[in-house]
Amino acid sequence: MKQNMRMIAAVLFLAFAAHYVMAQDPGIVTSDKPGWHKIGEVKANFKQENESIIVMGADKFKSIKLKVTDAPINIESVMVYYESGATEELSVRNELKAGSETRVIDLKNKDQDLKKVVFNYRTLPNRKDEKAHVELYGLK
């Protein structure tokens, strides 16, 4: 009986982990050229009210910004995680309509590689119950 319970728990854990990993594609940046680069994108599912984008590749940026399409969203804050273990919490508090973007957000740790960017949001009512598509851009 104990072995069956362990097996069930292991299967449930693996199913949850696979869903979590597959739901969040990493953003892979391949260029070090100056200018804006699309790092990654995610659909705000409006269930957990935070989303993350894992950053891989050429991942040193001076600034970041978020662009929103498909539906409105209220971005409360952004948490930046660096490969060094350092973190940076950035207040955004910006209600974004579809087709708009946040202000340019300057990063304090410009010389460090990004690991992950997490944004916290509140859902905004819309007529079609659409989900916001959020894109993360970084400036080199």
- Enumerate domains of the chain plus CATH numbers: 27-139 (2.60.120.1380)
Residue that wins the pLDDT comparison between 38 and 32: 38
**78-128 residue pLDDT tens:** 999 999 999 999 999 999 999 999 999 999 999 999 999 999 998 777 767
- CB of 140 within 8 A of CB of 107? no
pTM over 0.85: no
Distance from the Cα of residue 118 to its chain's centroid: 5
% of the chain beyond a pLDDT of 70? 80
Q: How is residue 96 annotated by DSSP?
A: E
Q: Say which residues have a Cβ less than 8 Å from residue 5's Cβ, sequence separation at least 6.
A: none
